[in-house]
Every structure is written in structure tokens, then in C-alpha cells.
Structure 1
């Protein structure tokens, strides 16, 4: 799920961009209690920020601590493929509601319950002794986590209709980032002082508790229409709409733009724990607390860059900064270890660049999306951009295993070149949709989906 934070310095930009747009949004019901609905907006963000990290960086840190092969750890990225494939069942969530519920919120409540139970089961596994079983259960956890984010994406869009979108976006963003800190940073600190069994056991109860809270969230009925839901038509229309707005150059760019990030980012916990010999507490503080703050800085920079210089230039700045950060990681390998101040600085630069790239891409997505199938088309765009993260992460593990960390970072720098070349050919496509009038309506941050 994606969000944008409301910064005071950008309030004028938000108001100018959305003043006329908000008047045109169709509402299903008025929101009477502003404070109450601010709370529910925060809860939606919190619920969407917690699931993904538990089967991403936190799971890799667990496998790293258990001394599992880096080859296996690299392949763990495949577990989260459901977050990319959720566009397959997105129309089902848009068209149907669980028994006893009037909105897509029901899918979120049920998914919370099942994910929480599977996390408790996962807590009893040993990734070193029962590697296959642990991965199998983690796959199930990932599926229900993707269902949570998919359901709450649709719920949130309906929930904020007719309201000041920038305000609700900021509140939701706070909850989203807090959720990532809890399951990404706090879990590593707990594991460092207690045990991984405690980490995933507590995470399971937290997920169940969040689902219980969302059970009491306001019901929002689906908007009625005159045509019968048709899955094949929904998927066909979504793909046709997306490919109608982009040439093969654009599609290729979306697929490879995050190759360099995929090569290095998915193995950074392993790099810090094994190569730099850092404690889990230190890794949690650097990667999540500092990383998320710097990512928010990148988000704010991206909004300003898009408004002033359009999508192309914003992406160019983000890619160049990311190359610089990767070169600094390469330099870190040749400095006396552990060099925590230098690592903290690199993490700051790296996450700022990722925030700029992710935010700019999602802003471009929002400008291309047909609102009638917003959840489905958002999922398809995320699928295109996330392909590299799923399939290049295992390649990164082989590079490290056979050639070392220095080769990995150098390869990541070199593979940025194709993205920059394609970007030069995307001037017209990216500049064609300059305004941000739909951006916060869809509450896009992911990033994501791919920090």
C-alpha cells in the first residue's frame, strides 16, 4: 500500500493541485466525525505497513542469524511474489464482498486473522533445520499479507472520498511508516535480546489484534453500477489501458529501472550482519529507523522535483544519487570495519534516492490510471516495476557467493546505465502527464511496495 506524507511546506502545492479535483470526487456518504475518521485513516496505514517486512528483510535477517546459505537467502525474495501477482485476484476483491460484510474491508479482516495464525505457526520453525518447511509457511504468510494490502488499498480510496486528501494521506503515511518500524526495526532489536520465536509469535498476535480493530472500522458499501462484473473484461481493459499509454520503451524502462536496487538492497541485511559484523539492534536502527526517515525526505524531494521539473528529470536525479550511494557501498568494503558513521551516511543517501525514484514512478502511474479499475491497474504497474526485485535478488546471492560484495556493488552501478539510456528516450511519455492532480487521491508513497 502506498502513501504520501503531508509536509507543511507542500500544503500550498497540495491545495492548488487538488482544489478543483476534490469537488469532482463522488461521495458515498459524509464523514461526520473528523477526529474519528482520522484515527481510522491512521489504522489503515498501520495495518498496511506491518505485513510485507515480516517476509522480506526481517525474514532474511532471521535466516542470516541462523547461518543459512546466502544462496538460499537470495531466493527468499521469491516468497513475496504475491505482492506483485495480486493484480490477478484484484478484480475479485473489487467485485465481491465476504459473507456478512458490505465492503472490501471484510477481506482485510479475514486476511489479518489467517496471516496472524500462520505467523504463530512460523514462530515454531527452525530455518536451519527445517528450511523447506519454514519457507513454505512464509509463502502462505506472504499471500495473506498481499491480500491485506490489496483490500485496504480499495477500502482507503473509498474511505477518503469527499475529504481533504492531503490531510488523510499524511495521517495514513504516519501509520504506514510506524508499521514498518515495528515489524522491520523493533523486531530485530527484540530478536537481538530475546529470540526469533518471540519475534514471530508477537508479530502474529499484533496482526490478529490489528485485524480485530479493523473489524470495527466503518462499513463503506461498494458503488453500484449497471453492468455485471466480468473478470476477463476487467483484466483485458486494464492491460489495454496501460499499454495504450506506453510504448515498448516505457514498459522496458519500468521493468529494469530497479535492477540496480534489486541487486543490492535485498541482501543489505546479510551484508551488515555477516560482512560488517553488526548486531541485529544496530542493523534495525540503521536500516529501518534511519532508512525510513531518509526515505520520507526523498519522498518530499520527489514531490518538489515533479512539480518543478517533471517526471523525467526527477527520475534522473534519483538514479544518479542511487549510483553514488552504491559506489559508496563499494568504497565501504575497502575501509576499516565496522565503519558505522560512514554506513549511516550511505544509508541516508541510498534511501533518499529510493524515495525519489519510487515516488516519481508512482506519481506517473497515478496519472495514467483509469479510476474505475484503480486497484487492478495499480497492481499491474507494481508488477512491472517489481519484476526485477523478485528475479535479480537470487542472482545477487550468486554474485556474492562466487565473487564477493565488491563485485555486487560494481555490477549494480554498471546496470544503471540501461535505465538512464531508456530514460533519455522517454521524454514525451513522461512529460505528457505533468500534473499531480490524481497523485494523492490514490495515496501512493511503496513505495514501495519495494523498500
Structure 2
């Protein structure tokens, strides 16, 4: 018997073409485009121009703004530009500044003016992080509950495509066709083009109130969040939900090359092409399924798939040396990881109070990196040395389980966030 209280299933094609959802593809692209240009691509440019290894090492500090963006997120919550609304106005300002900054980087050379170029890259990273603050808040504000999964999926798709363009494609263009300066110029023009999506994107149906003061914008996001009865357990869930995935992926490239014996070309091809395609398919499928399953059941189902998919790496570690086996394992892990990411981003959006969505999303997304940065990174090497690769990958499945147990325990909290109760 059908449940009269359950929302009707929405076709995926209709979800992804909705006016509130479709622009997120281009806006996600704008969000991801600057990252490699101030990171890996910039380091490659410096390497080609014979900059010393020590100086290239300092370039890794350029991206610090991405981890500290929660510090100025309250400013984005409090103040609104006089055009395009509180979120889109900031997005457009940052997109124009980013385009100009990328073009200005193209006028310099790391071999001749490394310090000015590095300082400009810091400014570009700051503008990029600020755009991310506004974009994450806009996405949280504009999407309806049943659209969050699809919105998260399109954002991930746009972001990944942008990283491919500003990473791999930019290197090819710079090396074979345009040179480094012209490539950065082209990326700036591309940013201006995708910025047009900011005009196309609609305002939220009911705009949220703006905090009355900067002090309120700083204090109230914390006060409001921690006044919720589920606050601490949800914060712990954010750390634990993708922890097994983080451990499995921390040294996956090293494992495939050094332990499994695949060449760098084989690993690069599988990771860049198949891995990216599988992540995109997983995110899009996850976004579509969320409209039917709801947030809680999606998190549980996709979380189980994330855990089980780590067995693909275990099979690579004990199985024969076979590129197809390696591709299947990597593809499965990325497919399930993409589905989990769509649900996880939807959870973060659902946790945000729209009045403070810029600050709260920035804080929650920073917290979500704790497991990857401070747990998986430092502890994976000693675990591998002690247990060996096959046992380590079995342990990553176990590491994923506490998050799923916590999710099951706090089911009512997640369903309250989602605004539905599944039978």
C-alpha cells in the first residue's frame, strides 16, 4: 500500500534541469577553476622555469586561505552588495576579481618575479575561498529539500571538470600550444564566461534575514548551532562518515605504484579518466536517488557502499597483477565515493541555518576535513607498516563502521534535518 505522506518520486531529468539546480553546474565550475591554478599548475610552471625546490615548497602555502575561510565567512553573512542579492553579489564580485587576477598572473613569470607572482596567487586564492563561502551559502539557501542531492551532485561535477581543465588540460595547453602566460589568460577569460551563470541563477524564494550586526554574525552561528540537541553527535558524524574512505585513499597512489607494481602511466590514466568518470556518475546517481530515498536512508545506503568498496583495494593487494582488476577496484571506489559525497554535502546544507549559512557551512566543511588531514594522513603510514596493505584495507572497512552506527543511532535527528520520516 502506498504511503500518502510520502513525496512522489521526481524524475532525475526533471531534478537536474530545474531553475534552482541547473546553474550549479557552471557555478561549481567557477568554484573549482582557481584551485589548480594557484596549486599544482603553478608548481608545474615554477618547475619548468627552474625555480628551486625550496621555493616551490613555499608555494604550497598559497592555498592556506581555503582552510581558514571560516574566519571571514561572517562578513559574507553580514554584508550584502547592492546588487544580485546577498550571495550572488559576492559571487560575481569574486568571479570578476578572479578573472583579473588570473590574467595578471599570466603577465608574470615564476623564473623572473616569483615573489610578486606568489603574492598575487595568494590574493587569487583568497578571492577563490571567498567565492566558495558565498557559493556554498547560496546553494544551501536556494535549494529545496528534495533538490539538495541533485544540487550537490551538479556542484561536484562542475568542480571536478574545472579541476581537470585548470590542471591536466592547462598543462597540455601551456606545454604544447599557448605557453604558460597565455594559458593563464585563457583561464581568466573562461572565468568571465562562467560568471554569466551568476546572473542566470535565481534568488532564493524566501530570502533569509541578514544578521543585524557583525558581532551577531560572528557569535550567533555558533550559539544557534550548539543550542540544538543533536549538535555534538552530528559534528562527530561529520568527522566519521567518510573516515574509512579517507584512510583508504590517503596513500592509494603510492600503494598502486610501489606495492601493486603498476606504472605511473597506468595509475594516472585510471585515476584521471576512469576515476573522474566514476566519481561524476556516482555523484549524479546519488543525487537522483536521494530524491527517492531521503537523506537518512541515502547516507546509510551510500555509506555502506563506501565501506564495501574499499574491498576493491584489498582485492588488488591480494589478486594477480592485472590492469583491469586495478581499474575495476579504483572505479568502484570512486563510484561509491561520489554517491557518498552527494549525500554528505546535502547533509551539510541541511544543517545550515539560512541566516548564517555562509559561516556555518564554512565551519562544517572545515570540520569535515579533520579526518582526512589529521587522522588519515598521519596514521595511515604506520598502520601499513605494521599490518601490511591487505590487512590495512580490511581495517579501513572497519574504520567506516562507527560512522554508520552513529548515523543509525541518531536517525531521528537526521530525519528532522531532512524534514521527513521514512517508514
**TM-score, length-scaled by structure 2:** 0.69
> Is 2:330 the counterpart of 1:344?
no
- Aligned alpha-carbon RMSD (Å): 5.1
SS of 1:335 mapped into structure 2: coil
Cα pair distance change 1:174/1:89, threshold 3 Å: same
Tell me which of 356, 371, 379 is aligned to 1:388.
371
Cα pair distance change 1:346/1:125, threshold 3 Å: farther
Q: Deviations over 1:86-132 (max 9, x none)?
A: 33333322331235665432211111122223333455777899988
Q: Which is further off, 429-438 or 198-207?
A: 429-438
Q: Deviations over 1:149-207 (max 9, x none)?
A: 322344456656xxx87579858955762453243258524534652725544222211
> Is 2:351 the counterpart of 1:360?
no
Equivalences for residues 283-294 of structure 1 within 5 A: 284-294=272-282
Structure with more relative contact order (C-alpha pairs < 8 Å, separation 6 or more):
1
Q: What is the distance in 2 between the residues matched to 1:273 and 1:78?
A: 27
Equivalences for residues 364-443 of structure 1 within 5 A: 364-391=347-374, 395=378, 399=381, 411=392, 414=395, 417-421=398-402, 423-434=404-415, 437=418
Aligned-residue offset at 1:357: 2.8
Say whether the 8 Å CA contact 2:302–2:340 is kept in structure 1. yes
Tell me which of 183, 190, 200 is aligned to 1:206.
190
Aligned to 2:8: 12
Aligned to 1:181: 161
Aligned to 1:191: 171
> Is 2:285 the counterpart of 1:297?
yes
Aligned-residue offset at 1:387: 2.4
Aligned to 1:87: 70
Which of the pair is proportionally richer in helix?
Answer: 2
Q: What is the distance in 1 between the residues matched to 2:183 and 2:212?
A: 42
- Number of residues paired by the alignment? 397
> Is 2:242 the counterpart of 1:258?
yes
Aligned to 1:321: 308
Cα pair distance change 1:173/1:259, threshold 3 Å: closer
Aligned to 1:335: 321
**TM-score, length-scaled by structure 1:** 0.66
Q: Deviations over 1:242-299 (max 9, x none)?
A: 3333365543342244344445647767888996322877654233234312332344
Structure 1, gaps ≥5 residues long: 1-9, 16-34, 440-451
Aligned to 1:7: none
Aligned to 1:51: 31
Q: What is the distance in 2 between the residues matched to 1:150 and 1:381?
A: 12
Q: What is the distance in 1 between the residues matched to 2:137 and 2:158?
A: 21
Say whether the 8 Å CA contact 1:119–1:204 is kept in structure 2. yes
SS of 1:12 mapped into structure 2: coil
Equivalences for residues 112-131 of structure 1 within 5 A: 112-122=95-105
Q: What is the distance in 2 between the residues matched to 1:58 and 1:315?
A: 33
Q: What is the distance in 1 between the residues matched to 2:312 and 2:393?
A: 11
